[in-house]
Structure 1
Amino acid sequence: MLGLAITLLIGFFLRLTGLNWDQGMHLHPDERMLIMVSDKIHFFTNLNPNFFNYGSLPIYLLSGLNQIVNSLFPTTLSSYDSMLYIGRALSLLADMLVIFTVHKLSWKLFKNRQISILAPLLYALSFFPIQNSHFFIVDTFLNLFLLLTLYAILRFVERESRTRVALIAFFFAAALTIKITAVIFIPFIGAVILFQKRKSLGNGAVTLVIFTIELLLFSFILMPFAFLDWQKFIADVSLQIKLASDPYVFPYTLQYVGTIPYIYYVKNIFLWGLGPVTSVLSIIGCIAIILELKSKYLKRKLKTQHLLLLVFLAFYAFYFVSLGRSAVKFMRYMLPLYPFLSILAAYGLMKLSIIWKKGVIIVFVVAAFLWTLTFSSMFTKEHTRISASNWILKNIPTNSVIAVEHWDDRLPIYHSEQYRFEELQLYNQPDNKAKWEILNRQLERTDYMVIASNRLYVPLQKLDNCAQYKACYPITSQYYKKLLGGQSNFKLIKEFVVQPELRILKWSLQISDQSADESFTVYDHPKILIFQNVSKDKSGL
């Protein structure tokens, strides 16, 4: 238990550090939306969120906890701004529970003390879960309840009982009422129940009916207005399904046009989310488990323990195969894979330690820890949008005209009333002469331009071929190439960037993560570019 306690302490410290990363400025758009919706909920007079892009359970958790805090401590702690910290504390707690559940799950799968300590440790050291536990977003909670659903399924496979079916229904209902994505597991759970009841399909059918009734009941309790306001629920969910299948639906998903299914996710997990060290270990672990299961099968020595491993592998393979082909590929969609990959990595490391002795464990764990410290260092530095805002207020004259891009945060994020703004609607279609006549007139009036992230200039530069892309931006692509290449009338005068950095005494190592998925950088450390119009006639291009 000492090893688990140390792991939990490390995980807590890494997730607590920099929790106020944006100094309370609400710089994560999903957080803003969830908190705005939560702020309208009041138990028990108003429970309709009138918003179903995400499930209601996290909204109810935040709103309910906020009311409890307000009743115990009637201060400003329960204000809209302070709900941000309550929400992030809930995310931190959820991910701490994931660490503990990874320990329980790995013990159930392997009955090996070494693996049951290494698996939660490697998860605790994985940067992407750390990063997302700094945000009040639904994916952290989905990760937890899908993991608990799997744990309940494995207990049912070990020994059938009505109580264990009810536990599956409860945890799965919680996952569904956090994010509708979990619905993909309905056939998987049904198949597991029928397989366990294969000697009596009649009993299997009865168990399925009981499970369905319990699932609907728990779902109604946790998200009642999905049933009571079903038309709004269906409309919102349908839009989200459309988004997942078409990157052209919203401007901010154009970044995924042309990305390769499965490969795009794997690349971002390997390079950024999990890191090369743990990723390599997880590949080794996966191969080792498959080979062991194959060997046991050929020797007719499969036991219940091996069946649990098969269900474990199938659960996450089913998730990856189902979602990995989606047109829109935010990194957070694969957050539920990280417990799975950490357990595989622990198994792989255990196998390596048998070959190369115990010292290899220390080497790999230290390497994983240093990798995570490199990325976690970003939470100890001032947010680039705050740094840029302070610089603008100090260096750009009052009443200057600042051009900003739509669909992105306007800078400066405070005291913006001191300036006049031109909002450049660069996503607009068609990308033709008429559009650019308007934009050029705006640019002529502009003194300074602030690009608050890579949200527009990365995808719009690549969408230059109208024969290849449904939405194309040939003129905008050329505009960005000239602007970023120093060939326009706007000169780059200031750049704000925070990179992952490892410092040991006077030695330091920086890693550029600008090639990562946009969502990996755009919330907590976006690259900011500030340009000045240096032409006498101020013509845009």
Structure 2
Amino acid sequence: MFTNFKKIWSVILKILVLAWVIAIATIFRFTDLNWDSDQHLHPDERFLTMVTDDLKWPKSWTEYFTTQKSPLNPHNMGHGFYVYGTWPVVLVKALAERLQLDNYQGITQVGRATSASAELLTVILVILTAAQLAPTKKRYLAGLVAGFCYAILVLPIQLAHFYVVDPYLTLALSACFFGLSLKPKWSSHLWAGIWFGLALSAKVSAGLFLPIILGRYLQLTWNKTLKLPQLIGLGLIFGVSSALTLRIAYPILFESQGFWPTGINHLVLQNWQTLKAFDGVETGFPPGLQWIPTQPISYLLTHTILWAIGIPEFLLGLWAVGVLIRFRHKLTQPILVWLCLAWVIGLSLYQSLQFAKTLRYIYPMLPFFTTIIGVAATQLSWRWKNWTGLNWLAAGLSLTGLWWSSGFQTIYHQPHTRVVASEWIYEHFPDQSVISYEYWDDGLPLSIGQDSALSRKFLITELALYDNETLEKWQKLSYQLAQLDYIVLSSNRLWRSISALPKRYPVASRYYRLLFSEALGFKKIAQFSNYPCLWPQLTDQSSLITPALKPPPMQLVKTPTCAMALADDGAEEAFTVYDHPTVLIFENTNHFSASQINRLLLSNQNLPAQ
């Protein structure tokens, strides 16, 4: 009887611990989905929200599959440039209508909740996949460890708060691999094929996963697990189900007058070509400028370690690879484990060699990264008396990883910096003030309650700092600067990318140097930062330190409310400018004339007239 009680208690305890992991994942992903107080401060979200809002339901299936007529085709609804798949926006459209939230505000919130839900499903798939790759008696341990490690990763937590298509891509690839990891049957390969079709229907870059799929089929061939006709049959099931899913979930990819396509949609191809044309060191596309000075491999690797994964979990990943190599002869599914590692390394290497090295491009490898950690944990004995240095190292890094992620989570416990800055502006700026905003960045103040720039009669002036460097540009900007009462930098988007390109923007770089050193007649009067906080505590730091124009990728700093904050002004742009940008406000105290400002800026500069 006592033995039965121990078994029952053991099962209950396992369920409770697993529920705790799911609870952590849920809390981290769903905390403050309205992080910008309905201000729509993510530009990609704004675009997808507008697309979703404009979509209409077709009158028939024939109309749905007729590319030139379908009202679910963004190209037909006034959005000539659209590079994503369509099933994520169609899903959000359907949910928003069902919840009676089919409006600009509601769609964004439904989109964010759906992203968070997709992320939570990915956590569950990580648990199931790691368990599938582990020895039978240690499946629970593998799933628990892998799920916990994925639940606390920083980048998935952040992307769960955005209405973007990347969580759908990562969910679909995780589900596809889970199906392929199961015992080879028609049902598992049908499942895998459907999810791979959905992955392609979210982002066509899912095609990079094909070598991993091929590797699984080569393994089945090599191991002679199946006879050749069976293997061909499973491959056909996978391929046909993928193709049918792609046709149904991404109909605008094809030219068609009905279900059967006649070719690839030329508008989709043009959109992809246009997007690709933004790449390269000669790009004039503002978001692309940040990539010009970055180095292959080292840039993305550094930012992946610091921000996407976090230092503790990166070290845990190295620990896992070392353990797997040491105990490789004990692995029950070695090829599948090595395929996970191949995807992690392969995708990271590929993306680090591209021009645009944004963190979300390596996001689909993160479930596989933590799956490796989960499987590695099964190679050690976790009985207390058998603990070694490897056990202590893994446990310590896991707990440190939770602490690290909790620090990032603090940004969602604070109001958005642009909202706080806007409230401050309304309180401190007199009516009819002349305020600047920078082209390609969000202007402040935001409309809050009854207050708006219009109601306060503020004159908002655009500074076109991304324009080519000419005398005409700086004559105009010098005049504008002389008229300003306040300069408002609502993020580091411009000052950081321009300062990193002094040869391309010699005067604009000098402008920011003079501005930050308060030598241009403007004095910094306010700064609003919301850095990830590892140690919340009131400190003796009375104010925030102005960031360097070329900040390091990470810096430990002290703020008035945090004894150990991670200053991320040097992190990849997309990591900070959406949900926690640093806002800087400068007041015109010296009131230099336009000619004085022009002389300060153009000293020893030789620019073309136009």
Query: TM-score scaled to structure 1, two decimals?
Result: 0.89
Q: Which structure has greater helix proportion?
A: 1
Equivalent residue number for residue 259 of structure 2: none
Flag the 1:201–1:116 CA change in 2: closer, same or farther, 3 A: closer
Matched, 1:55 2:85: yes
Indicate which of 574, 587, 595 corresponds to 1:519. 574
* CA RMSD, 1 decimal: 2.5
User: Which of 504-513 and 219-228 deviates more?
Assistant: 504-513
Q: Is the 8 A contact 1:489 1:538 kept in 2?
A: no
Q: How many residues align?
A: 518
Task: Give, in whole Å, the separation in 2 of the partners of 1:434 and 1:423.
Answer: 16
Flag the 1:52–1:393 CA change in 2: closer, same or farther, 3 A: same
Equivalent residue number for residue 410 of structure 1: 443
Q: Is the 8 A contact 1:142 1:178 kept in 2?
A: yes
Task: Give, in whole Å, the separation in 2 of the partners of 1:360 and 1:184.
Answer: 34
Matched, 1:442 2:497: no
3-state DSSP of counterpart to 1:377:
helix
Equivalent residue number for residue 532 of structure 1: 587
Tell me the alpha carbon deviations over residues 164-197 of structure 1, each in whole angstroms, 9 at most, x when there is no partner: 3322221111111111111222344345435534
Matched, 1:66 2:103: no
Matched, 1:231 2:266: yes
Task: Give, in whole Å, the separation in 2 of the partners of 1:307 and 1:227.
Answer: 36
Equivalent residue number for residue 145 of structure 1: 172
3-state DSSP of counterpart to 2:567:
coil
3-state DSSP of counterpart to 2:121:
helix
Q: CA deviation at 1:203?
A: 7.2
5+ unaligned residues in a row in structure 2: which ranges?
1-14, 60-70, 76-80, 257-264, 540-562, 601-610
Q: Is the 8 A contact 1:247 1:253 kept in 2?
A: no
Question: Mapping of 1:75-94 within 5 angstroms?
Answer: 77-94=101-118
Q: CA deviation at 1:351?
A: 6.0
Equivalent residue number for residue 494 of structure 1: 526
Question: Mapping of 1:215-254 within 5 angstroms?
Answer: 215-228=242-255, 230-243=265-278, 248=283, 250-254=285-289
AA aligned opposite 1:2: L
Q: CA deviation at 1:110?
A: 1.6
Tell me the alpha carbon deviations over residues 37-58 of structure 1, each in whole angstroms, 9 at most, x when there is no partner: 0111122342112253211111
Q: CA deviation at 1:222?
A: 0.3
Matched, 1:424 2:455: no
Matched, 1:341 2:379: no
3-state DSSP of counterpart to 2:357:
coil
5+ unaligned residues in a row in structure 1: which ranges?
71-76, 466-471
Equivalent residue number for residue 560 of structure 2: none
Indicate which of 187, 195, 209 corresponds to 1:171. 195
Indicate which of 327, 349, 367 corresponds to 1:321. 349
Q: Is the 8 A contact 1:115 1:347 kept in 2?
A: yes
Q: CA deviation at 1:205?
A: 6.3
Flag the 1:108–1:349 CA change in 2: closer, same or farther, 3 A: closer
Q: Is the 8 A contact 1:106 1:115 kept in 2?
A: yes
Flag the 1:514–1:243 CA change in 2: closer, same or farther, 3 A: same
Q: Is the 8 A contact 2:293 2:500 kept in 1?
A: no
Indicate the structure (1 or 2) with the bigger Cα radius of gyration: 2
Q: CA deviation at 1:536?
A: 3.5
Matched, 1:289 2:324: yes
Q: Is the 8 A contact 1:38 1:59 kept in 2?
A: yes
Matched, 1:19 2:33: yes
Matched, 1:390 2:423: yes
Equivalent residue number for residue 21 of structure 2: 7
Question: Percentage identity across aligned positions?
Answer: 31
Task: Give, in whole Å, the separation in 1 of the partners of 2:145 and 2:282.
Answer: 38
AA aligned opposite 1:233: V
User: Which of 180-189 and 242-251 deviates more?
Assistant: 242-251
AA aligned opposite 1:41: L
AA aligned opposite 1:119: A
Tell me the alpha carbon deviations over residues 418-454 of structure 1, each in whole angstroms, 9 at most, x when there is no partner: 211221111112x122221121122122221111110
Query: TM-score scaled to structure 2, two decimals?
Result: 0.80
Q: Is the 8 A contact 2:521 2:592 kept in 1?
A: no
Equivalent residue number for residue 51 of structure 2: 37
User: Which of 490-499 and 336-345 deviates more?
Assistant: 336-345
Q: Is the 8 A contact 1:269 1:275 kept in 2?
A: yes
AA aligned opposite 2:51: V
Task: Give, in whole Å, the separation in 1 of the partners of 2:335 and 2:395.
Answer: 31
Indicate which of 558, 564, 589 corresponds to 1:509. 564
Q: Is the 8 A contact 1:281 1:348 kept in 2?
A: no
Equivalent residue number for residue 478 of structure 1: 510
3-state DSSP of counterpart to 2:17:
helix
Matched, 1:280 2:315: yes
Task: Give, in whole Å, the separation in 1 of the partners of 2:18 and 2:151.
Answer: 11
Q: CA deviation at 1:481?
A: 1.0
Equivalent residue number for residue 397 of structure 2: 364
Flag the 1:266–1:461 CA change in 2: closer, same or farther, 3 A: same
Flag the 1:305–1:208 CA change in 2: closer, same or farther, 3 A: closer
Task: Give, in whole Å, the separation in 2 of the partners of 1:207 and 1:346.
Answer: 28
Equivalent residue number for residue 73 of structure 1: none
Q: CA deviation at 1:62?
A: 0.4
Question: Mapping of 1:101-112 within 5 angstroms?
Answer: 101-111=125-135, 112=138
Task: Give, in whole Å, the separation in 1 of the partners of 2:536 and 2:48.
Answer: 39
Flag the 1:342–1:187 CA change in 2: closer, same or farther, 3 A: closer
3-state DSSP of counterpart to 1:397:
coil
